Chain A
Amino acid sequence: MRWAMVKAVTRADLYRLFRTRDYWIPLVILGSMFFVVMPVLLLGSMALIQQQSSIVNQIGGIVGNLPDSIQQNIQGDSPTARASYAFAVYLLAPIAIIVPLTISSAVGANSIVGERERGTGEFLAHSPLKVSEIYIGKLLASLIPGYAAGIVGFGLYAVVVNLIVGPQLGGWFFPTAGWMLLVLWVVPPFIAIALALILRLSARVRSAASAHQASSLVTLPVILISYGVASGLLYSPVLSAAAAGFLAWIIALTLLASGAKSIKRERLLGVSADG
């Protein structure tokens, strides 16, 4: 494996991505919606309705229905503050998964079949790049936008949450240990699992449209699984989160290690490798 070659493939893909506004602007809008707009609207509304006792009581009821173990961790003196804390930390948790996974999937689905559709796959097929270098380069070019969106979005979300909910709790409280673990340890392998599957599809299908359709079939179950895992882990002890992340990493690395075999030079040319 020559890392200079991997870097060249990744850089070429990222350059192209960032120069294609039609591609990244919708992804930025998606990220902004989930990490900024929705939390601002939701948590801002809760801050504004503090005086309306009937709504506050309803929200207090929702928080009161959460398991005791979670209620012990919820901070805040007033019902609204406790409800805001619960929303910020527990109920919006899955957005940390959905946005980066969607972004990486969108990039990954197009990565190999796109080379074939543009005709640039012919150049790669005739080049001295090893298929493993092409695969890792494409993988990184798909992972980086998702991870970057996750980290930046997480940062923005932290600012939004602290600015809106923080005053009710006596200061900045976010991120919590559970969120840090989720973002840095649990989310990355789930993105990698989805990409390992999507890159295989991208190497096999005949068009980018097919790749996007097929990738959504892969992404949806992964989102649902990761949603469930992410939500559950925030309620669970840190050890189980670490264990779930470790298991996800093993699955991801296994899939990634075998994924390079899905790329054949003949497929880059747009010719069936089975012919």
Chain B
Amino acid sequence: MHDGMPPAITFASVSKQFGAVVALDDVSFTAPIGSVTVLLGPNGAGKTTTVRLTTGAMLPNAGGIQVLGLNPLHDGDEVRRRVGVVPPKPAFYDQVTGWENLQFAATIFESDEVRARSAAERFGIDHALGQEVGGYSTGMRTRLALARAVIHDPEVLMLDEPTAGLDPESAKAVLELIKEMAGRGRTIVMCTHLLHEAEGIADQVVLMEEGSVRAHGDPRELARQYMPDPIVLLDAADRTSLDFIPELDGVLAIRWDGPLHVTIDDEDRIPDIVIEMVKRGVRPTRVEPLVPTLEDLYFEMQRSHRASV
């Protein structure tokens, strides 16, 4: 990330309605230059609308949007020239070849055939460029969509559910692209509802639900905010032997979710818990401090939001 520089994308109190349906309601967030921002949320959360508003393909009913210092409302053509988009269901002209589709994209993004060829090679679709796209598999289409999206080396790349329906190899290629482009200072925004995909690549997450941003920020900061107390996972050969755990000093809460999730006031309590288990003749099968995943964080944030509502 480039500290001190203005963000690549700024949404300030943005709302978008389709008739009576509120697609986005007072959405605010920023995506710093060179960062990977993951928009997390279930279907219908407003992630795709956010992408469409970013490029100016749609216009907001209220609020302000800045992309690379430009307003998509007034400078949409320039914004779209500097942004690449991989839509959720990449579509092409099926009756023409992959190469002809790329040539078309190269022309309208003022790129060239060398870059088009290079992008195709990068995503391993160059061998199929002579075939009509109508015969492509889902994975091949996504690879072609990725090649098309980076054909002009965009400063901002937006990927809307890029791994939906992909085989593991293609999904890995997508995640590698994200890391590689972020490493070159490009700003990435990825929409997904697959939490494991965002794990490890997200500099910040924006949790969206029903058109609103529930929370956003660095995943570690959010974990500290939403899951401030350490959790240790316990399991035993005989689970009833763990019934005494709530009585121990420092144990704040327990819940069975696979293993027993024990919320404690301090990580230093863990050795004491183990000693107590041994004393009571418990045969532990698992003792593991929980490092919160995005999935843990996601569900915790949802629980927290619903509790507040």
A275 touches B104 (CB 8 A): no
- Nearest residue in A to B59 (C-beta to C-beta)? A266
A127 touches B108 (CB 8 A): yes
- Of the candidates B56, B77, B92, the one whose C-beta lies within 8 Å of that of A120 is B92
Tell me if B91 is interfacial: C-beta within 8 Å of chain A.
yes
Tell me if B57 is interfacial: C-beta within 8 Å of chain A.
yes
Chain B interface size range: 35 or more
Tell me if B172 is interfacial: C-beta within 8 Å of chain A.
no
CB proximity to B under 8 Å, residues A224-275: 265-266, 268-269, 271-272, 275
If A16-B93, A265-B58, A269-B57 touch, does A275 touch B19 (CB 8 Å cutoff)?
Answer: yes
The stretch of B80-88, B174-182, B224-232 that contacts the partner chain: B80-88
The stretch of A4-12, A32-40, A103-111, A172-180 that contacts the partner chain: A4-12
Give every chain B residue within 8 A of A4 (Cβ-Cβ): 107
Contact mask for chain A residues 91-134; partner B; CB cutoff 8 A; 1 contact, 0 none:
00000000000000000000000000011101101111110000
- Of the candidates B59, B76, B104, B109, the one whose C-beta lies within 8 Å of that of A12 is B104
B80 touches A128 (CB 8 A): yes
B19 touches A122 (CB 8 A): no
Q: How far is the CA of A268 from the CA of B93 in the complex (A)?
A: 15
If A19-B95, A130-B77 touch, does A271 touch B58 (CB 8 Å cutoff)?
Answer: yes
Q: How far is the CA of A16 from the CA of B96 in the complex (A)?
A: 6
Tell me if B187 is interfacial: C-beta within 8 Å of chain A.
no
A5 touches B87 (CB 8 A): no
Chain A interface size range: 20 to 34
Give every chain B residue within 8 A of A265 (Cβ-Cβ): 56-58, 76
- Nearest residue in B to A125 (C-beta to C-beta)? B57
- Of the candidates A20, A119, A266, the one whose C-beta lies within 8 Å of that of B57 is A266
Q: How far is the CA of A21 from the CA of B122 in the complex (A)?
A: 33
If A5-B107, A8-B107, A272-B18 touch, does A126 touch B58 (CB 8 Å cutoff)?
Answer: no
Tell me if B94 is interfacial: C-beta within 8 Å of chain A.
yes
| A181 → chain B closest CB, angstroms | 38
B108 touches A126 (CB 8 A): no
Q: How far is the CA of A4 from the CA of B111 in the complex (A)?
A: 13
- Of the candidates A8, A20, A122, A268, the one whose C-beta lies within 8 Å of that of B95 is A20
16 residue pairs from A and B, CB less than 8 Å apart: A4-B107, A8-B108, A12-B104, A15-B93, A15-B100, A119-B89, A119-B91, A120-B93, A122-B85, A122-B91, A123-B87, A123-B148, A125-B55, A128-B110, A129-B108, A272-B19
Sample of 9 further A-B pairs with CB below 8 A, known A128-B110, A266-B59, A269-B57: A12-B104, A15-B100, A16-B93, A19-B95, A119-B87, A125-B52, A127-B80, A128-B77, A265-B57
User: What is B's interface to A at a CB cutoff of 8 Å?
Assistant: 17-19, 21, 52, 55-59, 76-78, 80-81, 83, 85, 87, 89-96, 100, 104-105, 107-110, 132, 148
Can you list the 6 inter-chain pairs with the closest CB atoms, starting with the nearest? Answer: A119-B91, A275-B18, A125-B57, A19-B95, A128-B81, A8-B107
